Structure 1
Amino acid sequence: MPFAPDQLLRVPLLPVLAMQGLSVRRNAQLLPEPIGPREGREGRGPRLRLLITGDSSAAGVGAGTQAQALSGHLVSRLASYYTVEWRLEATTGHTTQDTIDRLRGLSGQFDMAVTALGVNDVTRGVTYKRFVDRQTQLLKLLTGPLGVKRLAVTAVPQMNRFPALPQPLAWILGHQARRLDQGLRHVTASFAQARYLAMDLPDDPALVAPDGYHPSPKTYAIWAEEAARILRQA
């Protein structure tokens, strides 16, 4: 397979990309993960065991509390129909492999789950093949030992649209994120229990956290609405 233009230009652009990467890390506002419970029970109706897992976006960075984050919005929507027993297993900086390692030590079973991964795989230089292999392992773990019957797999974010990233770094990371997202679509389609969750959002400053890198509470609400719709189709 021939290299894409962004892959060919990485080597000559390496000094610029390295400087920009260091600058982004130095200037980034290191937003904390939101306060609040990471597991609980809420609602009325049939029992639903829910798992939310992934990176800093799954953890809710960009929101002040878990109630304003993905977990809070999602549980609130599902609690109108189910007694939701939920658990959040997510950490800032986690890649797909980190999440696999974390979930392998998890006991218990779940009915539904939401994943949010990809950004750290992009920034760590994970290849398309390795990402596809690891996402396949993750979905096998979720739908096998962990018992998940309906899974919402969130798209890899469009990193070229992150306000915190300067050019050409945004262009390079954006192309790689798009490649990994294509792989994610392919993996998701191979599991009957899984559905790909697209995040096609408008260019609205209100949808981005102050660090220019993470979602805002408004984005978490939109995301949760779509995730709840996909999960409830079961």
Structure 2
Amino acid sequence: MRLICAAFILNIVFSSCKVKSNQTDYPQKQLKTYTYLALGDSYTIGQSVAAKENFPNQLTALLNVDSLIVEKPTIVAKTGWTTDELINAIKTSELKTKYSFVTLLIGVNNQYRGYSIDKYKIEFKQLLETAIQKAGNNANKVFVISIPDYGITPFAQNSDREKIAREIDQYNQIALQITKDAKANYLDITPISREAKDNPALIAADGLHPSAEMYRLWVVELAKQVKKEVF
């Protein structure tokens, strides 16, 4: 009888330990959700590539692979937009007050239309200030991307390619200086865009815009900056 009681008691103790062990709660790490605002023109929406292949969506996908949670990017961009058109579009867009980070790529259409470079200087600065405001007034969370050189594309084969390259460089130098003054981040992808001169795979089917592969090359470099400053 004593042996049966002892076995019964041991069984209860053992079962109790099992229950406690199974019910132990370990705190789970809560992953933060990040939001992303992309401002620009055709280079931002990814003219002539699938939506998932434009650089904002490729960037989001790459960041999410690293166990981060970045929501689908909010994109304010349209083919052909100049700085003033982007400014007006932002005013009429329903945007959040604050985003985790913001990218800005604008200016090629100012150059293409022959607008005054002084106009670009004023309006780019205004756009950068808006981008910083949307990043919670934190310039470290804003990433300016240089203007690609479309002069090397088939689209520009009958144009003055040297003039295009020279003017694109002038626009980029202005954007770089304004970005530095504001203490935001700057990514120079123009050299990558010029690789398309000898690599047709970097140009989309329309003969003008970047292909998904070129965007991928941008994103590899952009992701390094974003990871360093945002996460």
Larger Rg over CA atoms: 2
Aligned to 1:67: 52
Matched, 1:197 2:187: yes
Aligned to 1:180: 171
Q: Percent identity?
A: 24
Q: Tell me the TM-score normalized by structure 1.
A: 0.75
| C-alpha RMSD over aligned residues | 1.8
Higher strand share: 1
CA contact (8 A) 1:55 1:92 kept: yes
Deviation at residue 81 of structure 1 after TM alignment: 4.0
Matched, 1:147 2:103: no
Q: What is the one-letter code of the residue matched to 2:95?
A: S
Aligned to 1:213: 208
Deviation at residue 227 of structure 1 after TM alignment: 1.6
Deviation at residue 212 of structure 1 after TM alignment: 1.9
Higher helix share: 2
CA contact (8 A) 2:135 2:142 kept: no
Which has the higher mean CA deviation after the structures are superposed, 130-139 or 146-155?
Answer: 146-155
Q: What is the one-letter code of the residue matched to 1:55?
A: D
Q: What is the one-letter code of the residue matched to 1:184?
A: A
Counterpart secondary structure, 2:147: coil
Q: Tell me the TM-score normalized by structure 2.
A: 0.76
The unaligned stretches of length 5 or more in structure 1 are 1-43
Structure scoring higher RCO (CA < 8 A, sep ≥ 6) equals 1
Separation of aligned partners in 2, 1:68 and 1:107? 23
Q: Determine which of 85, 100, 118 is the counterpart of 1:98.
A: 85
The unaligned stretches of length 5 or more in structure 2 are 1-29
Deviation at residue 164 of structure 1 after TM alignment: 1.4
Aligned to 2:14: none
Which has the higher mean CA deviation after the structures are superposed, 168-177 or 136-145?
Answer: 168-177
Aligned to 1:163: 154
CA contact (8 A) 1:114 1:227 kept: no
